[in-house]
């Protein structure tokens, strides 16, 4: 079984003020100087963050079922549904991944909010989201490099709970991973701890394609994280 573990330095993620402004909702107009000030402060404080991690594990024993629009990995059935099925079908391998920003941003965010600075608390929350996504993206790039050499391509990342794929499939996903992979645990209600964690599948194959934005497949049209 092929797997790889990554530990990232915050600076490697290249998170920018502009990106965080967007995450906070600002698109057309720039936020007030005081918001930027807090974003910059939090960005700087995050430079010392540890425990930013991502890991993937590659599975060859996979089988797509066009009838149920499902996918079996090591004989475990995932009800990935129409949209995800259409993107993953044809893959020769599946990379199952996890990535996490760790607990630190949440702890610092709570401290800031309790100390009477809810805006700083929110900035930590938003940066936590960017970190976990950024870590997954860097892991994705490494995976890409590795398979390009073999003439293979990658699909987008797909996660349980999106695009009609039930979030409770997290339980099955976790059975494919060694215990405490990335120090992430799963609760009975399919919630990952630390909260700032994501999980999912990436398809790998000669015919696999990565499309520009997966947001257009999502039905949360009003989501302020929506990307064109």
Partner 1 sequence: MDDLLIKLSRCVELGKTDKSSPYPPDMKGQDGADELARQALDKGITPDSILEEALIPAMAIVGNKFSNKEIYVPQMLMAAKAMNSAMKHLKPYFQSGETRRKGKFIIGTVSGDLHDIGKNLVAMMIEGGGWEVIDLGVDVSTEKFLKALEDNPGAFIGLSALLTTTMENMKKTVSAVREKYPASKILVGGAPVTMDYCQKIGADFYSPDPQGAVNYLGRMV
| Closer of 149 and 221 to ligand B12 (Cβ) | 221
Residue 35 touches partner 1, criterion: CB under 8 A: yes
Among ligand B12, partner 1, none, partner that 218 touches (CB below 5 to 8 angstroms by kind):
ligand B12
Is the previous residue joined to 122 through a cis bond, with omega within 30 degrees of 0?
no
Residue 198 touches ligand B12, criterion: CB under 6 A: yes
Residue 160 touches ligand B12, criterion: CB under 6 A: yes
Residue 34 touches partner 1, criterion: CB under 8 A: yes
* CB-nearest residue to ligand B12: 161
Q: How many CA atoms lie within 13 A of 172 on its CB side?
A: 19
Residue 195 touches ligand B12, criterion: CB under 6 A: yes
Percent helix, strand and coil across the chain, each to the nearest 5? 40, 25, 35
The Cα–Cα gap between 161 and 199 comes to 10
Q: Report the nearest approach of ligand B12 to the CB of residue 197 (Å).
A: 5
Q: Restricting to residues 99-118, which ones interact with ligand B12 according to CB under 6 A?
A: none
Among partner 1, ligand B12, none, partner that 48 touches (CB below 5 to 8 angstroms by kind):
none
3-class DSSP state for residue 150? coil
Residue 19 touches ligand B12, criterion: CB under 6 A: no
- Contacting range for ligand B12; rule: CB under 6 A; set: 36-44, 74-82, 149-157, 218-226: 218-226
**Residue corresponding to tokens 């991973």:** 177
Residue 171: exposed, middle, or buried by beta-carbon count in 10 A (0-12, 13-18, 19+)? middle
The Cα–Cα gap between 194 and 186 comes to 9
- DSSP-derived secondary structure letter, 228: -
Residue 161 touches partner 1, criterion: CB under 8 A: yes
CB within 8 Å of 221: residues ≥ 6 apart: none
Q: Report the nearest approach of partner 1 to the CB of residue 92 (Å).
A: 31
User: Looking at 4, 6, 19, 26, which residue binds partner 1 (CB under 8 A)?
Assistant: 26
The Cα–Cα gap between 87 and 130 comes to 24
Site residues (vs ligand B12, CB under 6 A):
129, 132-133, 159-162, 167, 191-192, 195-200, 218, 220, 223, 225
């Amino acid at each position: 079984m092929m797997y790889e573990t990554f530990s990232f330095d915050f600076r490697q993620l290249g998170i920018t003020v502009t990106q965080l402004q967007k995450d906070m909702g600002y698109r057309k107009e720039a936020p007030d100087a005081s918001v930027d000030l807090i974003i910059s402060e939090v960005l700087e404080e995050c430079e010392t963050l540890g425990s930013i991690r991502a890991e993937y594990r590659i599975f060859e024993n996979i089988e797509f079922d066009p009838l149920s629009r499902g996918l079996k990995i090591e004989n475990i059935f995932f009800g990935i549904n129409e949209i995800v099925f259409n993107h993953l079908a044809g893959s020769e391998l599946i990379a199952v991944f996890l990535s996490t920003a760790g607990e630190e941003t949440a702890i610092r965010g709570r401290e800031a909010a309790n100390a009477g600075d809810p805006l700083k608390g929110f900035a930590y929350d938003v940066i936590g989201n960017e970190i976990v996504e950024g870590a997954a993206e860097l892991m994705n790039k490494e995976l890409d490099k590795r398979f390009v050499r073999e003439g293979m391509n990658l699909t987008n990342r797909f996660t349980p709970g999106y695009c009609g794929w039930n979030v409770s499939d997290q339980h099955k996903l976790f059975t494919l991973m060694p215990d405490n992979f990335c120090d992430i645990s799963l609760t009975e209600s399919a919630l990952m701890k630390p909260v700032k964690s994501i999980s999912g599948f990436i398809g790998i194959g000669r015919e696999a394609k990565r499309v520009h934005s997966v947001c257009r497949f999502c039905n949360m049209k009003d989501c302020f994280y929506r990307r064109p």
